[in-house]
Structures are given as structure tokens and as C-alpha cells.
Structure 1
Amino acid sequence: MARSTLPSSPAAGSGRTEWPGKVLGLPESGPRSMGSFGRRFLGLVIDWALASLLSLAFGTYGAAGNFVTLGIFAVLQIVFIALLSGSFGHVCVGLRVVPVRGGYVGVWRPVVRTVLLCIVVPVLIHAKDGRPLHDAVAGTVLVRR
């Protein structure tokens, strides 16, 4: 008498059939997979620390200079993403910002992404594909290098 066996699926070993970025055609892990929350957060902390250090160097750090620090942060985000496809913090933790449709990230995407990032609330809202709202609106995704 033959025993019945369950059909094996590619994700049977991992127990996962969905992962962030699958809808976008990104791999589950490795290069070009969607950046994890930990890497994203660490990159953000590095970027904010750099902006704070620059604000301190300019003498604008403190209660009165909070918006100056935010402005420095925004300028660094836009410049680094446009030039290096990632902010200084992203580069340090091995991430890069790429357009969903491929190609060069351009200038308008970093501007839109950064304005929404500075508002903070869109960062906390995630689209169905796993991207935060500021990435979804800008048409970008943060992936591993």
C-alpha cells in the first residue's frame, strides 16, 4: 500500500510563501532584496547623527536649531540619493535607493521621498508590497547592495 505524501513547494522548507518585495519581483534575500527594518533604521540613525554633527559645527544645534538640523538632514538625503543612489547612512549599512521601474533615480524622486520622510507619518504607513509610503509615492524601493 502506497503512502500519501504532501506535495513539496519551493517555500516548504522556510514556511514562507510571501516576503517583502515579492510583488515587485525582488528576491527574498541577498542583493536586490528589500532592505530590512533594522538596516533602514540604522541608516536613518547614521544620517541623523551626521546632520546633528553638521548642525553642531555650524552652531545651530539645540532647541532653536531643530529645523536647521532637519534642513541639513533633508539636503544630505537629496544630494546623496541623487549622486550615490543612497544616503550616507544607506551606503554605510549596504542599502541603495532604486526606482521600481529601473534606471537612474533622478532628482525629483529624492526630493519627494525626502519631503515625505521629514513629515515622518508616511514612513509609518506601509503599502501592500511592503514599502513605506514615502518610497511608494516616489516610485522607489530601498534594496540591499
Structure 2
Amino acid sequence: MSHLDGTLTPTTRQRLMPEQSWNWHVPTPFSQGWRVGQMVFVGGQLSADEQGNVVGEGDIETQTRNVFEAVTRVLEEGGATWRDVVKLNTYYVCNETGAAVQEFWEKMTRIRLEYMPTPGPAGTAVRVAGLMYDGFLIEVEAIAVVGSGDFPSQT
């Protein structure tokens, strides 16, 4: 990687594996996140205990809060905050129809908004048929640029 003055600087990589993070049921090389230079990449976070079991089965509010707390832990370990998040991807399972879908979405979004600064990140939400295991209702991944939240926001 080249620096502005033309000198070569190494790109530092830091694996992010905060305590109290969930783990897979089988050994894997996957990481909860990575910090590469000033960027923090948060892998998909689920509402799971440290053994990978579902927490808050059937409760989108509990699962959303747990997921966003897990994202927060990874961000913090990488030196970032929610103000630094520039991209947020949300995958959610809702097998309801009609007005129940909107109610589900609103419950999920009320919790998500507790974590979002103004202005918030670019976001994507995708309704999916299922996640890693039955019982998980939401998975979230994020990209942050450390220090980007310190700049004055533009409206």
C-alpha cells in the first residue's frame, strides 16, 4: 500500500474476536470481524450465546438487540463506534403475511434505530427464508471506517 508521500506502508490486519461472542458448533477459521487499516469489517452476527445456541427464539426484539450488541462488541474491539459505520446489511426471517410483516419490521427497526446515529449508514435489508439454523430471525454485518464519525455530518 502506498502512502501519499510515496513511501510504502504495511496494511495492518487485526483479527477481531471479542469475548462473549458466539462461536460455531464445529471448529472453523472464520472471524467475528477484521480491522484492516482504518476499516472494520464485522461478519454476520446472530442472536446466539457463546455456544452458538439461539437466544430469544421467536422474539425479533430480543434477537435484534442481541445482534446489535454483538456488532457493537466487534466494532469496539476494532476501535470503531456506530458513528463510524458506513454500510449495514440486515438479513431477517419473517414468515408472516400482510400487516404482520409490517409489525415485525417495525419491532425490528425500533431496536435498530436505537444504535443508529444521524445521518446513518447506507443500509440494506433483505428478507430471507432462513439463516444458519432454525430459530435465528436476524443476522447483521457492517463495515466501518475508524474515525469517519468524527467529521461534521452533511445533511
TM-score, normalised on structure 2? 0.29
Task: Answer 1 or 2: which has greater helix percent.
Answer: 1
Task: Answer 1 or 2: which has greater strand percent.
Answer: 2
> Which protein is bigger by CA-based radius of gyration?
1
